[in-house]
């Protein structure tokens, strides 16, 4: 299990759209023994989003669009990872911080968590895929309301909206997250986990017929390998 911590306390503001170097992340997850990844924030908060002063300062640079695209490419990469990625949320999860959480496969939050996409109140819109992922995850009317009002919701509302999957007592958030990962990955080979995640991810990125064909291919590979393993065990 790997842990990626957003570390810029106290609010864990994002100084750049690409909050972790994508090449470093690729190298890390290439370790086939890695079965899951947690993304969390240091201290009391997950992330309160972009540092607005740095963001507006960057907006006049020639490579501003490229920087935003790098941040979006990072979140796209996280969303399509072939290991489960869990956002472990506490405190503020705003703006770019929420967009990071939306790219994760599972969101677990503490009871004191609060969520918002405040960009429209700053004369902006969510810029790291938030308009797309939020409207796919919760109902479109709720996404419209949340984005245009720049309104804040608490953990119970987030659970009702299906923005998060689990709400846990603050002291138990870490234990709950580790236990969930253990339940999902214990006694599962890395290959089974990664093939399952690839097939699940294909359901959202490929036409149904192509996703089904890839599922069959992955299933057959695993079935042949498992049959061979059981045959070898039977001979011992």
- 174 classed as catalytic: no
Report the 3 state secondary structure along 174-229.
HHHHHHHHHHHHCCCCHHHHHHHHHHHHHHHHCCHHHHHHHHHHHHHHHHHHHHHH
Q: Which CATH architecture has domain 2-185?
A: Alpha-Beta Complex (3.90)
Among residues 80, 118, 58, which one has the least CA distance to residue 201? 80
- pLDDT confidence of residue 236: 60
Catalytic residue among 16, 69, 79, 119: 119
Q: Pinpoint the alpha helices (H) of 6-46.
A: 22-29
Q: What is the pLDDT along the chain (236 residues), one digit of tens a residue?
A: 899 999 999 999 999 999 999 999 999 999 999 999 999 999 999 999 999 989 999 998 999 999 999 999 999 999 999 999 999 999 999 999 999 999 999 999 999 999 999 999 999 999 999 999 999 999 999 999 999 999 999 999 999 999 999 999 988 999 999 999 999 999 999 999 999 999 999 999 999 999 999 999 999 999 999 999 888 887 66
**What is the pTM (predicted TM-score) of this model?**
0.95
Catalytic residue among 99, 172, 215, 233: 99
Among residues 30, 121, 132, which one has the least CA distance to residue 83? 30
Q: Where are the domains of the chain?
A: 2-185, 190-235
């Amino acid at each position: 299990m790997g842990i990626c911590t957003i570390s810029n306390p106290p609010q864990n503001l994002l100084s750049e759209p690409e909050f972790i170097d994508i090449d470093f992340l690729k190298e890390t997850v290439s370790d086939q023994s890695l079965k899951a990844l947690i993304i969390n924030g240091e201290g009391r908060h997950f992330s309160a989003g972009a540092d607005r002063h740095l963001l507006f300062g960057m907006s006049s640079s020639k490579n501003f669009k490229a920087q935003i695209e790098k941040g979006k490419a990072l979140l796209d990469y996280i969303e399509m990872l072939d290991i489960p990625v869990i956002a472990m949320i506490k405190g503020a999860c705003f703006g770019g911080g929420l967009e990071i959480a939306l790219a994760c496969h599972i969101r677990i939050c503490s009871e004191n968590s609060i969520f918002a996409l405040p960009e429209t109140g700053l004369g902006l819109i969510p810029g790291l895929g938030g308009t797309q992922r939020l409207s796919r995850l919760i109902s479109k009317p709720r996404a419209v309301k949340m984005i245009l009002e720049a309104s804040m919701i608490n953990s119970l509302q987030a659970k009702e909206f299906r923005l998060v999957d689990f709400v846990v007592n603050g002291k138990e958030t870490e234990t709950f997250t580790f236990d969930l990962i253990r339940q999902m990955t214990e006694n599962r080979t890395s290959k089974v986990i990664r093939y399952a995640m690839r097939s699940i991810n294909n359901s959202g990125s490929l036409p149904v017929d192509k996703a089904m064909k890839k599922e069959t291919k992955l299933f057959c590979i695993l079935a042949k390998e498992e049959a061979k393993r059981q045959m070898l065990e039977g001979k011992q």
